[in-house]
């Protein structure tokens, strides 16, 4: 039984060797051959040197080195494209995805689950990130055309059959957290306590997290496009209410209203709404534009221990 472990790396020089040792330790008493695939996503520290050195000592350690930083989802995609295991586990190498959970994930897979998700019981992030994440996942779950559960990240196990179908999906705007549940295979969820990062800083800036969140909503929901219809109905109905109110006061109470005063306020609100709608449409058009360019999801500079992937 071969299990592929995919580990995207971005400036994780202090975590590479410890996560490698820890994964080997938790699986040492199992009948499992481990295929490590480290993807160096344009790191600016010594991560690449450490990974390459590790691959020279252990032939089961394979690596892909990007020509530049292509992002976390692209790094996961590269690993998924080139793994050979009977099942594959994607995880971060900062120890926030606990390796101790891997044997239980494999057990659930052997019981017949084609996908094994892991779900954080609670977030230990800063207040702002906890609140925004909670709101985001609620919106994503409510408006997605299929249900994407909250607090489930990229720490998951996929059967090779699931992997084969997932790898056939080559859209350029990647949101694997939505692409996997879209496939519809049978799954189970393991809950766990997410530990704090022990070394280094997170490679995700606020802007990158925002972009990932937008990819999730825009890639798996048409709800933003339907906001125009909802808002239009509300505006029309409220307009009839205003008209009825003014007509009653005009004919019954002889009250005179300056229509231009009302129109100025209504037009001001509608202009703001139009700006929001233009932004939403622009997001969709931008994604269509990116897909139409048909550029590669990632570019490999060099690789080790499995030939040079194309």
Task: Write the pLDDT tens digit of every residue in 36-59.
Answer: 999 999 999 999 999 999 999 999
pLDDT on residue 227 = 67
CATH number of the domain within which 204 lies: 3.90.550.10
pLDDT on residue 232 = 72
Q: How far apart are CA 152 and CA 289, in angstroms?
A: 29
Let me know if residue 256 belongs to a domain. Answer: no
**If you average pLDDT over residues 253-271, what whole number do you get?**
73
Max distance between CA atoms of the chain, in angstroms, equals: 92
Let me know if residue 288 belongs to a domain. Answer: no
pLDDT on residue 245 = 75
Let me know if residue 188 belongs to a domain. Answer: yes
Residues paired with 189 in a beta bridge: 117
pLDDT on residue 309 = 42
**If you average pLDDT over residues 256-276, what whole number do you get?**
73
Let me know if residue 280 belongs to a domain. Answer: no
Q: Which of 28-37, 239-248, 279-288 has the highest mean pLDDT?
A: 28-37
Three-state secondary structure readout of 251-262: HHCCCCCCHHHH
Let me know if residue 99 belongs to a domain. Answer: yes
Q: How many domains does the chain have?
A: 1
Q: Which domain holds residue 143?
A: 2-221+294-304
Let me know if residue 275 belongs to a domain. Answer: no
Range with the poorest average pLDDT among 73-82, 175-184, 210-219: 210-219
Q: 35 with 84: CB under 8 angstroms? A: yes
Let me know if residue 238 belongs to a domain. Answer: no
Let me know if residue 27 belongs to a domain. Answer: yes
Return contacts of 105-114, CB within 8 angstroms, 24+ apart: 105/157, 105/190, 106/3, 106/30, 106/32, 106/157, 108/157, 108/188, 108/190, 109/157, 109/159, 112/186, 113/186, 113/187, 113/188, 114/158, 114/159, 114/161, 114/162, 114/185, 114/186, 114/187
Confidence of residue 143 (pLDDT cuts 50, 70, 90): low
């Amino acid at each position: 039984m071969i299990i592929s472990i995919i580990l995207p790396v971005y400036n994780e020089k202090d975590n590479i060797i410890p996560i490698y040792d820890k994964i080997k330790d938790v699986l040492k008493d199992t009948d499992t051959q481990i295929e490590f695939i480290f993807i160096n996503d344009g790191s600016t520290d010594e991560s690449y040197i450490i990974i390459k050195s590790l691959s020279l000592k252990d032939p089961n350690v394979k690596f892909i080195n990007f020509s530049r930083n292509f992002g976390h989802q692209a790094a996961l995609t590269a690993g998924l494209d080139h793994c050979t295991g009977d099942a594959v586990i994607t995880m971060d190498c900062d120890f926030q995805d606990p390796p101790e959970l891997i044997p239980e994930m494999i057990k659930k897979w052997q019981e017949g689950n084609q996908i094994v998700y892991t779900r954080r019981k609670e977030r230990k992030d800063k207040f702002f990130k906890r609140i925004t994440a909670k709101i985001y996942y609620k919106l994503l779950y409510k408006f997605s055309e299929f249900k994407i559960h909250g607090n489930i990240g990229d720490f998951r196990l996929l059967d090779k059959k699931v992997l084969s179908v997932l790898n056939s999906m080559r859209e350029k705007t990647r949101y694997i957290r939505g692409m996997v549940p879209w496939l519809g295979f049978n799954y189970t969820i393991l809950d766990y306590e997410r530990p704090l990062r022990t070394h280094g800083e997170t490679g995700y800036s606020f802007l990158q997290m925002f972009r990932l969140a937008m990819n999730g909503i825009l890639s798996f929901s048409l709800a933003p496009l339907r906001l125009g219809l909802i808002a239009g109905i509300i505006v029309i109905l409220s307009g009839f209410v205003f008209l009825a109110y003014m007509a009653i006061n005009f004919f019954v109470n002889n009250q005179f209203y300056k229509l231009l005063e009302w129109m100025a306020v209504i037009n001001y609100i509608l202009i703001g709404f139009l700006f929001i709608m233009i932004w939403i449409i622009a997001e969709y058009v931008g994604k269509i534009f990116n897909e139409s360019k048909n550029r590669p999801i990632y570019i490999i500079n060099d690789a080790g221990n499995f030939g040079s992937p194309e």
